[in-house]
Each structure stands twice: as structure tokens, then as C-alpha cells.
Amino acid sequence: DGTGAPARPSPAAGLPGAAAGRRAPAPLGLVAELTHRCPLQCTYCANPVELTRQRDELDTEQWQRILDRARGLGVLQVHLTGGEPLLRHDLAAIVAHARGLGLYTNLITSGLPLDAARAAELAAAGLDHVQLSVQDADPLRADAVAGLTRLTGPTGHARKLAAAALLTGAGLPLTVNAVLHRGNLARLGAIADLAVELGADRVELAHTQFYGWAWVNRAHLAPGEEQVRQAGRDVAEARARHGDRIEITHVAADHHGGTAKPCMNGWGSEQLVVAPDGTVLPCLAAAQLPGPALPNAVTDGLAASWYDSPAFNRYRGTDWMPEPCRSCELREQDHGGCRCQAFQFTGDPGVTDPACRFSPHHHLVRAQTTPAPTPAPVPRRFTAAVPPAPDPA
């Protein structure tokens, strides 16, 4: 980085655990946010409310150098995401470069800008897998939550179905992903059925992760307790209905159940995120956190960002943990939960995740799981008047 992508740099003095001879592990995955531009305006989007403009996006060569450095660090998988990565005309060149390095390449897309030539181009570039989003099994509701109600011609939903056919036709393995929320949970089973019809190998039914726009719109999106219980039953029925024809993954609802999720499988432990302008983050939502400045992949390099930056070292391991995490037997499994969730609920990213029933702030999460009267949601966009968050107390 800056001096040529060392494969295994020496641990920096001051790393948590360095005195005991431990060091940060090498990262396994790189989440490459190629752009924040997107034809959709999903109210549940986890992108930051402060979106990066096109003029600040990295160029092709900069992304290719980042991929070189990521591979040098030990990264094996790259997730190409956004925004909508298909809006980058150099996407195939980025895929081809990653494959040339031996990286597994996963494209996360809405599918809207896809045509047959693009699908063939990406397959020829060596793309390994595509994750295609659908919003609902009901076309009108799908387009409504994605802000696509003013489209002329085929609906956004219909375009996604066409994209799925193009992708499978090009021989690309397909996962269908649906973000679940109060407005579409009633059709969870129908979404699984749709994924089977589309020829997907896998469907990921993932409850909304409340970051970015989804956090702004949480009063609109958060499901009630009974909806969450019913979702579990609907997933079981879908698995029974479809057997081995498709793998059905169910990502549990945030804020229900009284346990903290092992966010990112531990801060600075397995994955790093590079934002469209090169900012390097330990997770997709970390730009909102107070504390040390975030490093940049171009100016600071990836190795220095991963191993040496205060932002990555701040919550590594267990030394940073307060009680009740510090003495909890689950601390190596849930890693104290999610730092961003802790910040969003309490203003302090260094406390136990309030999703945990042992957190002194757990009542704030419990209050959210009771659906509030539905306000108008705020669509994701570059400039939006975002209403202030309701007082959690």
C-alpha cells in the first residue's frame, strides 16, 4: 500500500493483544461499494443518508489497485455492490481484474439496468455469482417501496424478473434476496415461491437491518412480534414446500429475541468495506460513528487501514468491552453485538448492544418492537429532508 501491497505486514505496535503476541487476522472478504447511484429509492436501504456523489467516485484503475492490495492482504472474496454497480460502465473490467487475481466475485444488484449484452459481458469476464434483489411478490407493492411507481413501460418488478432470466440464461448462479419488513412479510412464502420460479439456487429472506435510510424509516418498517413469529413459521413451510429445489436462508429480525447479533462476525475480523470514494470502513454503517477518522484506500492503503488504523483497532477483540459484555461467556461469540446499533440507540458506540437483554439500554429496543403509527417513509435519495429521529427515551 503506497509501497506495494505487502502480503502479511508486521503487526502494528499498539494493536489490541499485540503485547500478548496476538495480531489481527487477515481479512477474508472485501465489500466494494462501487457507487451510491441507484435507480431505486428503497426506504429500507442501509446505505448512509449522506450518499457519495458520482464526482467523488474512484476510477477503474483505482479500484483495480485496491483489488490488488486486497488480494495481497489475503482477501478471497469481493462483493461488488452499491448503490447499483451496473451503473458503472467499467464493471466488467473490474470483475475481470478481480478474477485475474483469483478472487471470488459476487455482484449484488437490483437488475434494472441489465440487458442481454451486459449479462453476457459479465459472464465472459468471469463473474462467479449474482445476488438479485426483489422487493415483494406483489408487483405494485414492490415498485412502491422502491420508489418506481412513475416508470413507463414494464414495472420495475417485471424488469427484475427479466433480469433473472438473463442471468440464469448466461449461466450465472443466482441468489434472490428480499429485504423483509412490515409491508411485505405477509408475502414471505410467495417471495420464496417466486425465487423458485426464477430458477434461483438460493433465496435469502433477510429482515431489514436498521442502518442508514432504514434507520430513518424504522417506524414505517419495523415488524411486530407476531409478524416475526409468523415469518419463522412461513420459512419452515416454504422449506417443506420446496425441499431441496432451493436453499432458503432466513436472516433473523433485528431487535427481536433479546440477543445481540455477531455483527460482521467481529469488528475488523473478517471483512472490510470500501466506499465509493475510497473510505475504508469496518462495516457498512460505520461512517456515522464518532471517534477516529476513517482511513482511505487510496491515500492510506488497505494494509495500513486494516492493521494500523485507530478506526479498525478500536473495537477489535474483547479488551474494549464494558460490562456486561466483559464478563459474559458469549463475548467471543457475539463480539458485543453491533457498534452502530449501540450508537444509534444510545449515542455511544462503545456500550453493549442494546439488542442484548442484558444491556442496561435494552428497554430502548423493546420500545421499538412495538410498531408505532405509520408515518410517511422517506425515500432514499441524494438530497432529502430527513426528519430528526424520535427521542428513544
* Burial class of residue 121 (count of CB atoms within 10 Å of its CB; 0-12, 13-18, 19+): middle
* Rg value, the chain, Cα: 21
Between residues 172 and 263, which has the closer beta carbon with respect to ligand FES?
263
Q: Which segments of 57-134 does DSSP mark as H helices, in order?
A: 60-73, 91-100, 116-125
Between residues 159 and 339, which has the closer beta carbon with respect to ligand FES?
339
Q: 342-345: which pairs have CB atoms within 8 A and are 24 or more residues apart?
A: 343/288, 343/289, 343/290, 344/210, 344/211, 344/215, 344/288, 345/392
Between residues 211 and 345, which has the closer beta carbon with respect to ligand FES?
211
Smallest gap from Cβ 285 to ligand FES, in A, equals: 4
Report the amino acid identity of residue 214: A
Between residues 134 and 356, which has the closer beta carbon with respect to ligand FES?
356
Between residues 338 and 351, which has the closer beta carbon with respect to ligand FES?
338
Listed in sequence order, the residues at least 6 apart from 195 whose beta carbon sits closer than 8 Å to its beta carbon are 134, 176, 202, 203, 246
Please say whether the beta carbons of 180 and 204 come within 8 A.
no
How far apart are alpha carbons 86 and 21 in whole angstroms? 44
Smallest gap from Cβ 282 to ligand FES, in A, equals: 7
In our burial notation (b when 16+ CB lie closer than 10 A, e otherwise), range 355-381 reads bbeebebbebbeebbeeeeeeebbbbe
Between residues 96 and 264, which has the closer beta carbon with respect to ligand FES?
264
Please say whether the beta carbons of 180 and 207 come within 8 A.
yes
Between residues 27 and 189, which has the closer beta carbon with respect to ligand FES?
27
In our burial notation (b when 16+ CB lie closer than 10 A, e otherwise), range 163-197 reads bbebbbebebebbbbbbbbbbbbbbbbebbbbbbe
Smallest gap from Cβ 232 to ligand FES, in A, equals: 23
Smallest gap from Cβ 341 to ligand FES, in A, equals: 6
How far apart are alpha carbons 111 and 82 in whole angstroms? 12
C-alpha distances (whole Å) from 296 to each of 189, 305, 306, 324 are 42, 7, 10, 34
Smallest gap from Cβ 211 to ligand FES, in A, equals: 6
Smallest gap from Cβ 288 to ligand FES, in A, equals: 9
Smallest gap from Cβ 257 to ligand FES, in A, equals: 16
Smallest gap from Cβ 355 to ligand FES, in A, equals: 10
> Where does this chain bind ligand FES (CB under 6 A)?
211, 263-264, 283, 285-286, 338-340
Smallest gap from Cβ 349 to ligand FES, in A, equals: 8
Instruction: Count how many Cα atoms sit within 13 Å of the Cα of residue 4 in the half-sphere of its side chain.
Output: 0
Between residues 137 and 264, which has the closer beta carbon with respect to ligand FES?
264
Between residues 130 and 264, which has the closer beta carbon with respect to ligand FES?
264
Please say whether the beta carbons of 173 and 201 come within 8 A.
yes
Q: Are strands 77-81 and 29-33 parallel, antiparallel or unpaired?
A: parallel
